Structure 1
Amino acid sequence: MWVVSLCLAVATLLLYYARWAYKWRNPRCSGVLPPGSMGLPLIGETLELLIPSYSLDLHPFIRKRVQRYGPIFRTSLVGRPVIVSVDPEFNNHILQQEGRLVEIWYLDTFAKLFGLEGESRLSRVGLVHKYARRIFLNHFGSDILREKLLQQIEEGVERCLRKWSSLPCIEVQEAAFDMMFDFVRRQLFSYDAHETSADATEKINRFLGGFLVFPLNVPGTAYHRCLKEHRKFIDMLKGILRERLNSGKTSNVDFLDEAIDSMHDQDFLTEDFIVQMMFGGIFATSETISSMLAMIFKLLSGTPAVLEELRAEHKLILEKREGQSTALCWDDYKSMTFTMQVINETLRLANFAPGLLRRALQDIPVNGFMIPKGMAIMAVTAALHTNHDVFENPLEFNPWRWKDLDSGTISKNFKPFGGGMRQCVGAEYTRAFLCAFLHVLVTKFRWTEIKIGDVYRNPVLCFKDGVNIKLSESGKSL
């Protein structure tokens, strides 16, 4: 009898698994799902997405499926069914429909690390989103950039580059991350005297090594190490917040002061919420700009004509303000036409993230298919940036192409900072910082390449062996 019972139990388990696997592979839908494959149970097709691709083109995971299924297809990533779209009209549409057709959504790994699980206050449309956007604009937006931040960036960049020039070699992304972290923490919470920049940077760099992996929280895995480093960094930020709260003194001079002052009026402003906002600000600013700077050095190393025109533009800026204030001003920044073309072209080619994630709030018909309510949608805006119909020879670094593109074409086909109401609040800050950096770099320094590693995606942009240079002040020997 025990043999019969065992066989029945095994058969029941197999039937249950088969039924579960069928439902998982065929999500409930009131119409026809977009074509595609869900891959292996739970793992889905995640492993293929994580295979490095040594190209600036779209990741092969996406390109192959577009060729097989069309511009909208279904897949499964890190345990979640996802509809992937490279259709420009559909992507533009849903990015304008937040709060109606879709809401912002994050992969489980990202959501857990940034405090965005479930109906998180950071992901909701409305009062909280408006507050978070406003407070970041107060400390990183156009007004403060114009008033004082641009000059502070110029001064900070020059100090940092002089330090770099004293070293035999620097790896650009790591050194730039240190620079960015030091600068952004001054804006967020003045200055943390309790921990050196190197210690804090090491923590966040170890964290970055594991946040885009399968969320397997087992000792020895990258995700487990990532969570461990995340806790350490969050504890550091909590200590800074509690010290400020215990002092009872706020002067409203930095981000943290303003957030503490707002706790009396906004009931959603808990200590955890403020810490997560600070962590998000550090991550978004430091990681994005440091990666951009590494990419700029890599691209300039192979295009001397671009570097020559950059130097000519910034030499003209210096000549125009000769005898006046030597500090970089807003008019100088806005006059950097070719510099902005270089930055746009770098942003277009870099495509640091594979796409923007949303979740359907209702069934969404598209091209004869139906995206079910609750399904995640990845709008692959990077596909716009490599569109042969808009950008001739799209994998070529050609800043001059932007002279011939009208504003309408750019707005529809260039979305490095997202789109709709969720467009990155730090877009102007990023551009201004990069312009100021390039201004100081090409007018006061020279560099030689020691070793320029290859670019690859898995799926975010990475640099194999780094971008290593030797920097020297102009007029001094390298």
Structure 2
Amino acid sequence: MWAVVGLSLVVLLVTYITHWIKQWRNPKCNGVLPPGSMGWPLVGETLNAMTPSYSLDLHPFVKKRLQKYGLIFRTSLVGRPIVVSADPEFNSYLFQQEGKLVELGLLDSFTKIFKFSGDVTASSIVHKYIRSITLNHFGAETLKEKLVPLIEKTVVKTLASWSSQASVEVKHASSVMLLNFGAKRMIGYDAETSSDNLSDKFSRIMDSFLSFPLNVPGTVYHNGLKESDKITTMLRDILKKRRMSPDTHRGDFLDQISSDMDKEKFLSEEFVVYVVFGILFAGFEPVSSVMALAFSLLAEHPAALKELTAENEALLKNRENPNSSLTWDEYKSMTFTRQVVNETLRLGNVVPALLRRALKDIPVKGFTIPAGSTIMALTSALQLSPNTFKDPLEFNPWRWKDLDSLVISKNFMSFGRGSRQCAGAEYTRVFLATFLHVLVTKYRWTTIKGARIARNPMLGFRDGILIKFKEKKN
């Protein structure tokens, strides 16, 4: 009898699991789902998607599925069903439908590390506030009035330090420079006097974003959560001290947002801490990858380096005072430098996709994306499309002279698109251009080791990029 009972339980269990897997692989839909595969239960196709790719081209995971299923397909990553779109028309339409058909979508690993609530971050009022305060401290007007010379001063000091060393791993060193500068402007952080090394803590968090959200000691995700807790504890302490001493006015980001806490109900202590946390991260990690990539691309294309150097040296010669600081007007006049920045951003694709969540069923080309689905808009596919960019894997800054502005707006999305375009876009471009300006006018460099791409799927480099710097002699 017990054998029969045991066998019956096994049959019921197998039947339940089979039914669950079938439902998981074929979600309910009021129409036809996009083609694709959900992979293994829970794990999905995450392992394939996270296999390193050693090229600037689209990740093989994406490329194979685009060839097999077309421009829109479904998959499952880090425990979540996802619809992937490389269709330029559909992606452009999505970004025009913010708050109507779609809202901001985030992976579970991201939301848990940054403690972001989808309901809060999707709020138009909250988003407009965060965008406004960010532009107030890092937007074009602030860059024009005071930040450009401060950025140049930081770059000059940093490159002088690098030149005194036998070699520098530029990806990590760039991230330290960027984070320290941003943290100084946001929270008054001084890397030289602080006992907390923010750059090291943030660097250890990066690997956890696309890891499976399994909070078990020893896993990448668990370690990321630990580092997140350390940073938020530090930021919480800084905020409390600032709130206790309102008369100590520094005029930075934290001053403004802590003052606004008395006016805006959504600005709780926890929310402010995680907003600061998120903006600090966004301001250094992706940009440092682009800086590192620029060294590699310029070394491989001497004609581009020659023209870049000529433009920036001519800028110095045309000054009344050669030792004066870089100005906003000079930055705007650096046409080829800004073309180099755009081309590096295009090839770098440091944020290869933008995530949105469907608020309603969305019909698209005979298929239906169910409400609640996460949609991954592949900006990388647009920026590497041969239909828009001839020889898309070729580093060609000159191509930007002839590209139409409408074509650029629809196919170049390094900083997102629509109402949620990154508020720090111009800040990033200025920092990159200023870095290149100081680099080519004052230094020569030699690559010692590295420069091998390793996407995972974010842009990275195998073994880093080791470079030796030497100051130019007049």
TM-score class, shorter-chain normalisation, is over 0.9
Give yes or no for contact 1:44–1:77 (8 Å, CA) kept in 2.
yes
Query: Is the 1:108–1:117 Cα contact (8 Å) retained in structure 2?
Result: no
User: Which residue is equivalent to 2:34?
Assistant: 34
Which of these residues, 301, 304, 310, is aligned with residue 302 of structure 2?
304
Aligned to 2:454: 456
C-alpha deviation, 1:195, in angstroms: 6.3
| Offset at residue 339 of structure 1 (A) | 0.5
Question: How many pairs align?
Answer: 474
**Residue in structure 1 matched with residue 56 of structure 2 by the alignment:** 56
| Counterpart residue number, 1:109 | 109
Tell me the SS of whatever aligns to 1:265. coil
Q: Secondary structure at the match of 2:242?
A: helix
C-alpha distance 314-192 of structure 1, shift in aligned 2 (>3 A) = closer
TM-score where L is the length of structure 2 = 0.97
8 Å CA contact 1:178, 1:197 repeated in 2: no
Alpha-carbon distance, 1:322 to partner: 2.7
CA distance in 1, matches of 2:228, 2:90: 36
Q: Secondary structure at the match of 1:424?
A: coil
Letter in 2 for 1:15: T
Q: Name the CA distance, whole Å, in 2 between partners of 1:302 and 1:193.
A: 34
2:366 to 361, 364, 368: 368
Q: Report the secondary structure of 1:73's partner residue.
A: strand
The question of whether the paired residues in 2 share the 8 Å contact of 1:251 and 1:257 is answered with: yes
Contact 2:186–2:252 (CA<8 Å) still a contact in 1?
A: yes
Say if 1:316 and 1:197 are closer, same or farther in 2 by CA, change over 3 A. farther
Q: Which residue of 2 aligns with 1:19?
A: 19
Distance 1:197 1:92 in 2: 46
User: 312-321 vs 136-145, which deviates more?
Assistant: 312-321
User: Secondary structure of 1:397's match?
Assistant: coil
Confirm or deny that 1:65 pairs with 2:65.
yes
Distance 1:201 1:69, change over 3 A: same
Question: Percentage identity across aligned positions?
Answer: 54
- Give how far 1:77 is off: 0.7
Matching residue of 1:278: 276
The answer (yes or no) to whether the contact 2:114–2:274 under 8 Å persists in 1 is yes
What are the ranges of 5 or more consecutive residues in structure 1 without an aligned counterpart?
A: none
CA deviations over 1:278-333 (Å, ceiling 9, x no partner): 11111101112211110101111111111110111011111221337711111100
> For 1:226-265, what aligned pairs fall within 5 Å after superposition?
226-251=224-249, 253-265=251-263
Residue number in structure 1 paired with 2:99: 99
The equivalent of 1:152 in structure 2 is 150
- Counterpart CA distance in 2 for 1:321 and 1:92 is 43
CA contact (8 A) 2:71 2:86 kept: yes
The letter for the 2-side match of 1:33 is L
1:436 aligns with 2:434: yes
Query: For each residue in 1:234-283, what CA deviation from the matched residue of structure 2 results, as whole angstroms up to 9, or x when unmatched?
Result: 11111211221223434251000101110110011111111111111111
Q: Distance in 2 between matches of 1:197 and 1:71?
A: 49
| Structure 1 residue 193, shift from structure 2 partner | 6.8
Alignment of 1:112-127 (within 5 A): 112-119=112-119, 121=120, 123-127=121-125
Q: 1: distance between equivalents of 2:263 and 2:410? A: 39
SS of match in other structure, 2:283? helix
8 Å contact kept, 2:52–2:457: yes
Paired amino acid for 2:140: S
**Contact 2:362–2:370 under 8 Å retained in 1:** yes
Q: Structure 1: which amino acid aligns with 2:64?
A: K
Q: CA separation in 2, counterparts of 1:193 and 1:75? A: 43
Q: What residue in structure 1 maps to residue 472 of structure 2? A: 474
- CA displacement, residues 416-449 of structure 1 (integer Å, 9 cap, x when unaligned): 1110101011000000111111111111111111
CA contact (8 A) 1:449 1:468 kept: yes
Match of 1:396 in 2: 394
- Distance, in Å, in 2 between the alignment partners of 1:322 and 1:45 is 60
- In the alignment, the residues of structure 1 paired with residue 439 and residue 355 of structure 2 have an alpha-carbon distance, to the nearest angstrom, of 36
* Aligned mates of 2:468, 2:306 — CA distance in 1: 19
TM-score of the two chains, using structure 1 as the length reference: 0.96
**What is the root-mean-square deviation of aligned Cα atoms in Å?**
1.5
Amino acid at match of 1:103: E
